[in-house]
A and B are shown apart, each in its own frame.
Chain A
Amino acid sequence: MDSSADDRARLGLRESATFDRSTIAAIHRAAETGIYDIRGWGAKRPLPHFDDLLFLGASMSRYPLEGYRERCDTDVVLGDRYAKYPLHLDIPVTIAGMSFGALSGPAKEALGRGASAVGTSTTTGDGGMTREERTQSKNLVYQYLPSRYGMNPDDLRKADAIEVVLGQGAKPGGGGMLLGQKISARVAGMRTLPEGIDQRSACRHPDWTGPDDLTIKINELREITDWEKPIYVKVGATRTYYDVKLAVHAGADVVVVDGMQGGTAATQEVFIEHVGVPTLAAVPQAVQALQELGVHRKVQLIVSGGIRTGADVAKALALGADAVAIGTAALIALGDNHPRYAADYEKLGSAAGFFDDFQDGTDPAGISTQDPELASRFDPVEGGRRLANYLRVLTMEAQTIARACGKSHVCHLEPEDLVAVTIEAAAMARVPLAGTEWIPGR
């Protein structure tokens, strides 16, 4: 019988901080199966994050804008450095790349519906572009990944922007995997793979290595699409300062930096929790790189990895991002981990709020699955409506903060508007510890 925390305390039982119950369970699991743990979601460990920053609202030395009456714009233009047709988005919150395969067709459709309703973009993923998402997404970013599954020039020309993916925050340096349970006939067909196998994706591009090659590759993509589409370069956050500089030199119109809290559909637990750096640490490095090259706000910066609230959006923008991307939060908005599926999660040995087995394809919410019966539980129209609502809330929250700081555009927020409540966050974000003028390392 389980005992409560109080009972255990009364008995003098003490849990090891080093070998806590999760660690013990992980060792038992490894000993029983002989294979590493693969799961979805992003890093679950506590990390310095946007919660460790606070805004300095206006008072005497700054004056605020009137909420609801004075304008606070939210539009953003992405990719106007070289592209003939840059993206014009109404809000600075975009939907990150998530594959059909990882997600069901209706879930991809819902992302398109929700994003289009509020004037923002969605992004494909490994495995190519589906009819559902192209039809429903007014602005669709086409990912160009190492595996090139489903990659074809017709879809490239149909895209509104192209994102060359070097890595993602959940697994910088790692390739993709999609386990056999999710390799349905349609997914297998799109990826030119046998049905039902555990699919491996390469971690490096097959026809270029390093920044000099990337320059030529980007030019190839531009030549093929007649210099019409913005080209993004996405990196997982690690050596962000250098990676961003190299991406800019290679000709990127937009750089996407994904911190280690960024989600994944299926990655080794050890990878998710131990490789990469927190989003908070990566943003100032990226901004410094852009500033030193004289292209800050000319080459746009999209930040992702753990964005949940309008406050997170506002803080990322204040640190110098032009927009953010959400993945995990978007799935939650669609209904992932909703208490209404509590009984189903328990049957899977999980619980609402804890479910991260996206790799298994057993998602009771019908989002991260290829099972037709489970996928049919999910209503793409209702899902799209929920996502649009959530995106509106994020935007209004960011506007609320921007107005309080006296800004007529959310992108006018700046580091000067921020302080940190921990020394770690102050050092990473390069803003003063609250109540001091101290920025560690400065």
Chain B
Amino acid sequence: METLVAFDLATTPLREVNTALHAPGLTGEFVIAHPDGAHNVAVGLDAPIRVQIDGHVGYYAAGMNQQAHVTIDGNAGTGVAENMMSGTVWVKGSASQSAGATAHGGLLVIEGKAAARCGISMKGVDIVVGGDVGHMSAFMAQAGRLVVRGDAGEALGDSIYEARIYVRGNVASLGADCVAKEMRPEHHSELESLLAAAGFDDDTAAYTRYGSARSLYHFHVDNAAAY
């Protein structure tokens, strides 16, 4: 049986906790109590471990995660799972802005809502948001999938590259070069898998796919107003 190690951020400095979680060859399960909004909790992990954070966290929780499965039993501040490479980050509550920013891989699940710029510059990560996302979500999103079970704010997918966005609710407005696209069978299948991975079994027919019109891929005078 894997060992369960408990840290209490009320009495243990963050540096000590992150150092312990960076130990070479680490396995097992870890619980972090009393995060109380601390920034940079469980950042830079690179081991197949499970980390449970009992409470709300500040900026960049589980930032640059590799391999680890991190659960945040609370809300997350700005940039949760930013630049994640692999593994899973699961937020039981809601997330502030720039959730999953620039992340290359892995799965980010936000059961509640996500604020502005969710999935900004995402580079391959999968993000599933239980509720709404704020404005400028998936701004310059390069690769990966963003699933929004609620509504999306203004300028969704502005200047998007090759990422795919699925939204069930309303979209306040689309950003430059972002367009609605046909849901082909492979998209229903892909969406179903993403929802299942996040513990949802919605009817995929209720979703619309959005992606790049690819009209801004080359500088052209006629696009001047869009840049």
For the complex, give the distance between the alpha carbons of A153 and B84 in Å: 9
Which of B22, B40, B120, B227 has a CB less than 8 Å from the CB of A216? B40
Q: Tell me the count of chain B residues lying within 8 A, CB to CB, of chain A.
A: 46
The residue in B44, B140, B159, B220 that gathers the most chain A C-beta atoms within 10 A of its C-beta is B44
Does chain A have a CB within 8 A of B79?
yes
A216 touches B104 (CB 8 A): no
Given known pairs A153-B83, A198-B219, A225-B44, the reply for A192 and B142 (CB within 8 Å) is yes
Query: Shortest beta-carbon distance, B56 to chain A, in Å?
Result: 15
Which of B78, B102, B104, B139 has a CB less than 8 Å from the CB of A213? B78
Which residues on B sit within 8 Å (CB–CB) of A180? 217-218
For the complex, give the distance between the alpha carbons of A100 and B32 in Å: 40
Which of A33, A34, A35, A207 has a CB less than 8 Å from the CB of B98? A207
Extra A-B contacts (19), CB below 8 Å, given A148-B101, A156-B64: A33-B221, A153-B83, A180-B218, A191-B142, A192-B124, A193-B161, A197-B161, A200-B159, A200-B216, A206-B82, A206-B98, A206-B139, A207-B98, A207-B101, A207-B102, A208-B79, A220-B43, A223-B43, A226-B22
For the complex, give the distance between the alpha carbons of A262 and B59 in Å: 33
Which residues on B sit within 8 Å (CB–CB) of A206? 82, 98, 101-102, 117, 120-121, 139
Query: Shortest beta-carbon distance, B219 to chain A, in Å?
Result: 5
Which of B78, B123, B216, B221 has a CB less than 8 Å from the CB of A207? B78
B85 touches A152 (CB 8 A): yes
Q: Which of B55-75 contact A (CB under 8 A)?
A: 58-60, 63-64, 66
For the complex, give the distance between the alpha carbons of A147 and B141 in Å: 11
For the complex, give the distance between the alpha carbons of A219 and B79 in Å: 14
Does chain B have a CB within 8 A of A353?
no
For the complex, give the distance between the alpha carbons of A396 and B25 in Å: 48
B83 touches A219 (CB 8 A): no
Which residues on A sit within 8 Å (CB–CB) of B18? 223, 226
Query: Shortest beta-carbon distance, B183 to chain A, in Å?
Result: 22
Query: Shortest beta-carbon distance, B62 to chain A, in Å?
Result: 11
For the complex, give the distance between the alpha carbons of A200 and B58 in Å: 30
Which of A151, A202, A217, A227 has a CB less than 8 Å from the CB of B60? A217
Chain A 7-50 interface mask (CB, 8 Å, partner B; 1/0): 00000000000000000000000000111000000000000000
B219 touches A151 (CB 8 A): no
For the complex, give the distance between the alpha carbons of A151 and B124 in Å: 13
Chain B contact surface mostly = loop
A202 touches B79 (CB 8 A): no
Closest residue on chain A to residue B61 by CB atoms: A220
For the complex, give the distance between the alpha carbons of A185 and B220 in Å: 23
A153 touches B66 (CB 8 A): yes
Chain A contact surface mostly = loop
A207 touches B82 (CB 8 A): yes
Q: Which of A210-240 contact B (CB under 8 A)?
A: 213, 216-217, 219-220, 223-227
Which residues on B sit within 8 Å (CB–CB) of A194? 161-162, 217
B143 touches A223 (CB 8 A): no
Does chain B have a CB within 8 A of A179?
yes
**17 A-B interface contacts by CB (under 8 A):** A35-B221, A147-B121, A148-B102, A153-B85, A192-B123, A193-B142, A197-B217, A200-B227, A202-B121, A202-B140, A206-B82, A207-B120, A216-B59, A223-B14, A223-B15, A223-B40, A224-B63
For the complex, give the distance between the alpha carbons of A202 and B121 in Å: 9
Closest residue on chain A to residue B224 by CB atoms: A35
B44 touches A153 (CB 8 A): yes
For the complex, give the distance between the alpha carbons of A188 and B18 in Å: 34
Closest residue on chain B to residue A175 by CB atoms: B140
For the complex, give the distance between the alpha carbons of A151 and B78 in Å: 19
List the 3 shortest-distance A-B pairs measured between CB atoms, nearest first: A224-B44, A34-B221, A207-B79
Does chain A have a CB within 8 A of B46?
yes
For the complex, give the distance between the alpha carbons of A427 and B78 in Å: 43
Does chain A have a CB within 8 A of B19?
yes
A219 touches B39 (CB 8 A): yes
Chain A 88-122 interface mask (CB, 8 Å, partner B; 1/0): 00000000000000000000000000000000000
Query: Shortest beta-carbon distance, B221 to chain A, in Å?
Result: 4
Query: Shortest beta-carbon distance, A359 to chain B, in Å?
Result: 10
Query: Shortest beta-carbon distance, A30 to chain B, in Å?
Result: 10
Which residues on A sit within 8 Å (CB–CB) of B19? 226
Query: Shortest beta-carbon distance, B113 to chain A, in Å?
Result: 18
Chain B 70-97 interface mask (CB, 8 Å, partner A; 1/0): 0000000011001101000000000001
Which residues on A sit within 8 Å (CB–CB) of B40? 216, 219-220, 223
Given known pairs A153-B85, A192-B143, A207-B98, the reply for A179 and B219 (CB within 8 Å) is yes
Which residues on A sit within 8 Å (CB–CB) of B123? 148, 192
Which residues on A sit within 8 Å (CB–CB) of B78? 207-208, 213
For the complex, give the distance between the alpha carbons of A213 and B40 in Å: 12
A220 touches B85 (CB 8 A): no
For the complex, give the distance between the alpha carbons of A48 and B217 in Å: 39
Closest residue on chain A to residue B21 by CB atoms: A223
Closest residue on chain A to residue B82 by CB atoms: A207
Given known pairs A200-B159, A213-B78, A217-B60, the reply for A224 and B43 (CB within 8 Å) is yes
A151 touches B83 (CB 8 A): yes
B64 touches A148 (CB 8 A): no
Which residues on B sit within 8 Å (CB–CB) of A34? 221
Closest residue on chain A to residue B77 by CB atoms: A216
Q: Which of B136-188 contact A (CB under 8 A)?
A: 139-140, 142-143, 159, 161-162
Which residues on A sit within 8 Å (CB–CB) of B15? 223, 227
For the complex, give the distance between the alpha carbons of A152 and B219 in Å: 29
